[in-house]
Homo-oligomer: A and B are copies of this chain.
């Protein structure tokens, strides 16, 4: 873990260190002492930037949530047939997850013990509902199969997408769009070649 000298510290570098520590030790298992050691600055210097670890958590999961919700406002998510919109949202969700990997990882590990965690879980549910609504609309338009319930499809879709935080390790020059393509192909067109 990199440390920075006190005078080079910004709220952003502190946040990035905090997210690493939260992901390694779990939010519950992280103390201000751990954060102070990892950041290489005193606890009072941390308190100069934030009120406590819960504020760091809120800022970190907000970054992930803002990235995800912004996708829903993009033109590709707003125009066209529902099936195209939900494919677009799936692809962009993967891209945001990969671009903000530590932040989304933290978001997906949130448990619900504090107010901030419960708020984050609630926002995640809102995002999932938005995707479920799109899947439902696409099924109603006849573009998606109706023998898989849209709520179940949403859970399986996010099961696939969210598993990326468990095994994907970014490398320099990684092509996120290829990975996003693979997820979209598998979820919407299936692995089978279209010989039917």
Binding site for B on A (CB under 8 A): 83, 135, 142-145, 147-149, 152-153, 155-164, 166-167, 179, 181-183, 185-196
Contact = CB atoms under 8 A, between A and B. Distances in A.
Contacts of A152: 179, 182
A186 to B, nearest CB: 5
Contacts of A163: 155-156, 158-160, 162-163
Q: Is the interface of A mostly helix, strand, loop or mixed?
A: helix
A108 B186 CA distance: 23
Contacts of A83: 192
Nearest to A135: B191
Contacts of A188: 190-192
A192 B145 contact: yes
B145 A185 contact: yes
Given A155-B167, A156-B183, 8 more contacts: A83-B192, A144-B193, A145-B192, A145-B193, A149-B182, A157-B160, A186-B190, A187-B191
B192 A144 contact: yes
A138 to B, nearest CB: 8
A143 B192 contact: yes
Contacts of A153: 182, 186, 191
